[in-house]
A and B are shown apart, each in its own frame.
Chain A
Amino acid sequence: MATVIHTKGLVKRYGKVRALDGLDLEVEAGQIHGFLGPNGAGKSTTIRVLLGLARPTSGEATVFGGDPWRDAVSLHRRIASVPGDVSLWPNLSGGEAIDLLARLRGAPRRDAAYKAEKERLMHEFQFDPRKKGRAYSKGNRQKVALISALSVPADLYIFDEPTSGLDPLMEVVFRAEIDRLRAAGATVLLSSHILSEVELLCDRVSIIRAGKIVETGTLAELRHLTRTEVSFDATTVPDAIAGAHDVIVSEGRARFTVDSDAVNGILPVLAQRDVQGLRIEPPSLEELFLRHYGDDLAALDASTGSATGAGRPATRAGRSATGAGR
């Protein structure tokens, strides 16, 4: 498979701040690639480098094999992007802004196909194109960027937190559009901190932390890195179960975790004991995420005195689990 986005040891410094600190990112053609991280982790900086809006301090970055800084114009003919915070020209209407941006990306002025696609998207997103830019809410500004990006076919779509500001109905429309892009074979880099969105849409995920990619793989691969949580009704601590970690009893239920590839091994034991109300929860993306950000959370807990993250698998599952994967 052809590599669409490739970065190696990418560093971007702003003064003393290292926004990117040796970022290695690979996105293959046809992938819907989730780019996960909290605010300030370096997602937007990475995207700005990939779009040639910022020049890397060191390291390499290529998009379609080209240099995003030097070949910006030719690359941008193949890329559609939606920035995280959309600003519009206050005195241009939304419709004018959509047309302008689409034309700058190469849509011919009287192109029937473009017009039809734009009309369809404006209908789907329930967008009123005749208001002036300053009159739009955040969600509607986002729609301008989304409609103009989606209305001209591209090989690569880069979305920076595209659904921020959209209501849940519009999020559904956006997901349908991503499915359409997937079917068309386009490549998508979707930056987000909304885990459920990435879980639903993406087939590969890269987690960024402090300017570095700390985990990358398919969701299935990543799930093997963390433990599955098992719980059933119990009032007292059950007898030891092989492979179970961190057994606790609270609110009438016994809970413990097992390595994800050892779940089958404990099922006979549970069947034998005839446990009631059995629930087996595979690790969510949230837990994957917390695995890397758990210490931040712990620090937060320590400073606020709350117990938000206490007992989460996040801090328990060590990196040693990596070797246990299939």
Chain B
Amino acid sequence: MSGLLPLLRQRMRRDWKQLLIWTIGTGLFAYASYSAVSQSYGELQERQALLVTVMANPVILLFRGLPSGAEQGQLMVFLMFPWLAMLAAFMSTFLAVRHTRMDEEQGRAELVSATPAGRTTPVVATVIHGLIANFVLAALTTLGFLASGLEMTEANVAGAKVVGFAVGAVGVAFLGIGLIAGQIMRTSRGANALAVWILVATFVICGIGNALGTPSDDLQRMESSWLTWLSPFGWGENTRAYADDNLWPGVLALVFGLVLAGIAIVLQSVRDLGEGFIPERRGRAEAGPLLSTPTGLVWRLTWGAILGWTIGGLLTGMLSTSLASVVDQVSGDNPAIVDILEKIGGSNGSLQQATVSVFFLMLGIFAACAAVQIVIRARQEEAHGTAEPVLSAAVGRVRWLVDYLVVAFVAMVLVVVAGVVGATLGLASVDGGSELMETIVVTAAGQLVAASVFLVLTALVFVLAPRATIALGWTLIAVGAIFGLFGPLFGFPDWMASLSPLEAAPKVTTDGVQLNGLWWLIAVVLVGGAGAITLMRRRELVTGG
């Protein structure tokens, strides 16, 4: 294991800023959950009422955690845990791929492996690096909960420790998943895509599993169904911090991650550096008709990602309407839930509308992700030097950028349309759901406009500060998503929440269509788009990261 320490130091040196932001961000997010709970649900009765409502409409559990009780700490964990775990998971998969497959792909691993460090030491160093990062993240999460203003009772301190441990354990599980993805896929892009797909799929599986679970008689606690146990997120949630403080599901996640990391080390030791496990197919000797225009090239480079987001949109749409009916059947057996639903009364329709709105907010985020990823692809083409031969041929700078923007817009339309199609398919399984169509179409169109804002803002960043494109593009979406998904919960003032295009988009309530900030959004898209295209005329090629 010679060279382990230098490799570890190199990893920390390369990542420390990024990891600092990521772990402190997670800690602050945990800290903020207290004010969310104390502002929105200060009274015990309010918290109990919230949980009862949730049990009545468990679809919400897709966006929240596993209810364990109405105590403040328990509710904080219920509201925030999945998202804290998701931050740890994203941090870990990206970290794993960055230091394994990406290094191999870009030839850096060859330099290192030619030294006495050999082929497996870099992976071992990455595992240790990932474990340290997750430990820091877990510690800061615990600190966040400790500092949040909960009473410093023994139980609360133990709860804070358990929640930190669980978040870190989910992170380690995804460190293993990221490492395996890096072994299987030949490119870092492919490895990241695979890891993110697994992440989102297991997140949703965990949520569906919780929604299909068995509520306790007092409607304050939910027992996960077996589905939840297929997901590392489910393991993390079943530690039930502040309630049961049950460590073994967390240990399961930890062991799972370490076993996968071990397998990754073995795989690395038996394969050739830079190769995958599926032999490379030979390419075409000649280009097909698609590769005759710069637009065709952009499509060729991005269609895989577009397909992925579109399938995501379709599934989101299907869940938004069909899951409601499944949940209806489950909860229909429980007299207490029927009672609640009746209390909410005629607003059953509006509950469904609200459900569609929440899911379509996710759809808007997916569409924005697809678009931003394509603009980021333009930046990657520029930085890696593959834009240069295209721009040295008879392709203008403006035309080149517009191609990416057009394909990005098409991608957003595909994602949103897939969402509408999915929602319509889901409705087919529900009786008399046709009145929801207006909500579906209007909300989808609104989210398309909202996602376009992310597209033009990222395009502007690309033109004005190319080196910041990747970081700022994803940050914009993250901020928009947090405002959209948590703004109401955290009690942000309205003006602040409506800064997020996703929140400012038109919605449908029982009072009819609310346009909200539609005209503002359209204005931003038009001005931003025109600005980006105009400024591109004066923009030079900026190579290098």
Contact = CB atoms under 8 A, between A and B. Distances in A.
Interface in A122-164: 129-132, 134-135, 145, 148
B396 A96 contact: no
A77 B392 contact: no
A87 B392 contact: no
A90 B187 contact: yes
Contact of B392 (A76, A85, A103, A106): A76
Contact of B285 (A55, A103, A129): A129
Interface string A71-115: 011101101010101111111111111111101111001000000
Contacts, number: 110
Interface class of chain B by DSSP: loop
Sorted from nearest, which 7 A-B pairs have the closest CB atoms?
Answer: A93-B283, A87-B385, A99-B287, A104-B393, A96-B287, A95-B285, A130-B282
Interface stretch (B210-218, B290-298, B336-344): B290-298
A74 B389 CA distance: 15
Contacts of B294: 104
A53 interface: yes
Contacts of A73: 394-396, 399
Interface residues of A, number: 44
A101 B396 CA distance: 14
B297 A100 contact: yes
Interface in B33-58: none
B283 A55 contact: no
A92 B390 contact: no
Interface in B255-305: 280, 282-289, 291-294, 297, 300-301
Nearest to A87: B385
A76 B393 contact: yes
B541 A48 contact: yes
Contacts of A148: 389
A53 B391 contact: yes
B394 A89 contact: no
A105 B393 contact: yes
B484 to A, nearest CB: 34
Nearest to A107: B292
B534 interface: no
Given A87-B384, A129-B285, A134-B105, A104 B390 contact: yes
Contact of A132 (B283, B285, B389): B283
A54 B297 contact: no
Contact of A104 (B288, B300, B301, B395): B395
Given A55-B538, A72-B397, 20 more contacts: A72-B391, A74-B394, A77-B394, A83-B389, A89-B301, A91-B187, A92-B291, A93-B282, A94-B283, A96-B287, A96-B291, A100-B292, A100-B297, A103-B293, A104-B394, A105-B393, A106-B394, A130-B284, A130-B285, A135-B280
A96 B105 contact: no
A91 B396 CA distance: 24
A91 B399 CA distance: 23
B286 A99 contact: yes
A131 B283 contact: yes
Most interface-central of A51, A83, A104 (chain B CB within 10 A): A104
A55 B287 CA distance: 33
